[in-house]
Amino acid sequence: MAVNDETTAIIGARVIDGLGHDPIEKGTVVIKGGRISAVGKDTAVQVPHGANVLNAAGRTVLPGIIDCHVHSTYRARDIRQHLTNTPTYNVLRSTHILEETLACGVTTARDMGGADAGFREAIAEGFVKGPRLLVSIVMISQTGGHRPGTMSTWSSTRRCASPTPARAGPDCACCRSMPCAAAAPTTTFSA
């Protein structure tokens, strides 16, 4: 998400801090440069001069939600349809999915296969609206789960060149045709 220097004050809201405390009735949240700088009762928090003031009376403000399992590049009910779409169509469709995810209050998401580091970078630069992304790139699964190979078209286009892709990490360079960290010598530890 792009950060700006603007100051915003949300006033009159019921504020849930996410730390287990009782909600603050008639609370104020001050945001400076994209970061929360003050939270408390309206009577205890001073609204900075020139701040953009949003009256949230009758509404609730709470911290952003973290979703640990999203597929931002896939939302079709029919996997065959998704796999026959052009890659460009699926990427452009994903921008709507990411924006919708953010609008639902999810401010951080872990993409469990499909989105690559480019999605994360586009969001961070403000080019695409969406939650802060942590990307997995390559799917790993238990025996009998959603293992690569069960969807041959998907796995053949997303598979890392490494014989052990999990070792390469989520932003494996080999997925972008660059020198692969997974090809580096490894150290084996024994108990």
- DSSP E strands in 42-189: the ranges are 52-55, 60-61, 65-70, 106-111, 132-135
Residue-wise pLDDT tens digits, 159-190: 444 444 444 445 444 444 444 444 444 434 44
Q: Residue 116: CB partners within 8 Å, gap ≥ 6?
A: 135, 137, 175, 176
- Round to whole Å and give the CA distance between 131 and 46: 29
The answer on pLDDT for 13 being more than 90 is yes
Identify the band that residue 74 occupies on the pLDDT scale cut at 50, 70 and 90: confident
7-63 CATH choice from 2.30.40.10, 3.30.565.10, 3.40.50.300, 3.30.450.40: 2.30.40.10
What pLDDT is stored for residue 81 in this prediction?
82
What are 115-126's pLDDT values in tens digits? Answer: 889 999 999 999
77, 12, 5: which is closest to 35 by C-alpha?
5
Average pLDDT estimate for 66-94: 85
Quote the mean pLDDT of the chain.
Answer: 78
Pick the CATH number of 66-180 from 3.40.50.620, 3.20.20.140, 1.20.1260.10, 3.40.250.10: 3.20.20.140
The Cα angle at residue 109 between residues 91 and 105, in degrees rounded to 5:
100
In this model, does residue 97 exceed pLDDT 70? yes
Residue among 137, 90, 34 at smallest CA distance from 98: 90
The domain ranges of the chain are 7-63, 66-180
Q: What is the mean pLDDT of the segment spanning 25-38?
A: 94
Q: Name the token pair of 98.
A: 């990411």
pLDDT at 1 over 50: no
Q: Helix 87-103 vs helix 117-124: angle between axes, to the nearest 10 degrees?
A: 50
